[in-house]
Amino acid sequence: MGMDTGGSGGGPSSEINVTPLVDVCLVLLIIFMVMIPKNVPEISVRVPPDTKKKKPPKQQNDTLVIGLTKDNALTLNSQPISTRDELGDLIASRLQGREKKVVFIDFDDDANYGDAVELLDLAKRNGAAVLGIMKHKNRPVPDTLVGI
């Protein structure tokens, strides 16, 4: 296929001149590009307030450890407590507002078993969801449990 100069056939040429078609398409494209952004309606969006700032201040996440000695002396995080009622109030106030309501019980091996169970019940009544009993690694296992 060569280029036709128009002199040999003498008749009309059937080839399409593409240049005016490209010019018209480009002009239409520019017109649509300019007009479209003006026709888009505005969408108003309301952003919800930031809820992270309005959360109540977090309580201290220190571990609550109730201690019971063989003399029935009570402690809460190594602080001496005089009565069980005072201990219950302290547990309830410190567990308030926490996500994880965990209380650990640390009692001596020689402590009264009934008193230890009462402490577990006291912690449960005052809001503890999970109770744990602590065992120190450096304490030796009593001889009565070795043969079991």
In CATH terms, 64-137 corresponds, of 3.90.550.10, 3.30.465.10, 3.40.50.10540, 3.30.420.270, to 3.30.420.270
Any idea which residue has 């700032």 for tokens? 53
Q: For residue 89, what are its two tokens?
A: 């109030």
Q: Quick one: which of 57, 56, 55, 126 has its CA closest to 90? A: 126
Average pLDDT value for residue range 4-21: 74
Tens of pLDDT, residues 78-110: 889 888 889 899 999 888 888 888 899 888 888
Question: Which has more confidence, 15 or 10?
Answer: 15
Q: Where are the domains of the chain?
A: 64-137
Residues paired with residue 106 on neighbouring β-strands, in sequence order: 67
Q: Is the pLDDT of residue 30 over 70?
A: yes
Share of the chain above pLDDT 70, in %: 74
